[in-house]
Amino acid sequence: MCKIFILKKIIIAIDGFSSCGKSTLAKALSKKLSYGYIDTGAMYRAVTFYFISNNIDIQDITLIQVALNNINIHFENVNGENHVFLNNIDIETEIRGLEVSNWVSEVSAISAVRKAMVKQQKLMGLRKGIVMDGRDIGTVVFPDAELKIFLTAQKEIRIERRYQELLSKGLNISRQEIENNLNHRDFIDSTRLDSPLRKAEDAKEIDNSYLTENEQFKIVLELANNLIFATVQ
């Protein structure tokens, strides 16, 4: 009896700490599988950028709620790259700077902000066929995702990766500043009351400290294909 292959659309949830390569992996998978890619970190960065630009006091919940009603976020492909747009303005470059990085964890910890972003993210995943990366995708946004990945890496390696990334963008910053930033973000992300960063029980944990991007990609792609290409007798 021959095997029949059934092509399924799935949701791939990728979580993990800062500078573990979540976005790089997610982008590569979405391109290979022709899936949509949702960078949830960019969504929280966009909200942070809006708050900074409009002097929103993150202790003022009333002001925050009003601001969230005025925030519209979407993604577009710009010259082959996934860019985030805030109220129809491309802010991909602006949200990657250290000022936003220094505040994004605090903004992300605000319950009203998380609820607003999670609501949008759930809507994006209704049709499946997406790759979404963040810190609570497999635990809160899509607890029923078919494939959950949790990325980790040694702190020193994460610092060096982030340092090289910012250098390539022409930003002058010290490794100590990056270490301080990562320590701060790790603490906030892991201890916030609303959907803290944690590994889902059914997630596949991958320590990529000494894996190349291609090695990691192959591991996760095989896991995805095993779910996408189901077989029946």
Return the percentage of the chain with pLDDT > 70, whole number: 96
Q: What pLDDT was estimated at residue 170? A: 83
As a whole number of angstroms, the distance between CA 232 and CA 108 comes to 43
Q: What pLDDT was estimated at residue 232? A: 47
Least confident of 15-24, 40-49, 108-117, 224-233: 224-233
Q: What pLDDT was estimated at residue 2? A: 55
Structural domains for the chain:
10-227 (3.40.50.300)
What DSSP assignment string belongs to 150-206?
EEE--HHHHHHHHHHHHHHTT----HHHHHHHHHHHHHHHHH-SSS-----TTPEEE
pLDDT digits (tens, 9 = 90+) for 151-210: 999 999 999 999 998 888 888 889 999 999 999 999 999 998 888 999 999 999 999 999
Question: What's the whole-model pTM score?
Answer: 0.85
Q: Report the chain's mean pLDDT, rounded to a whole number.
A: 92
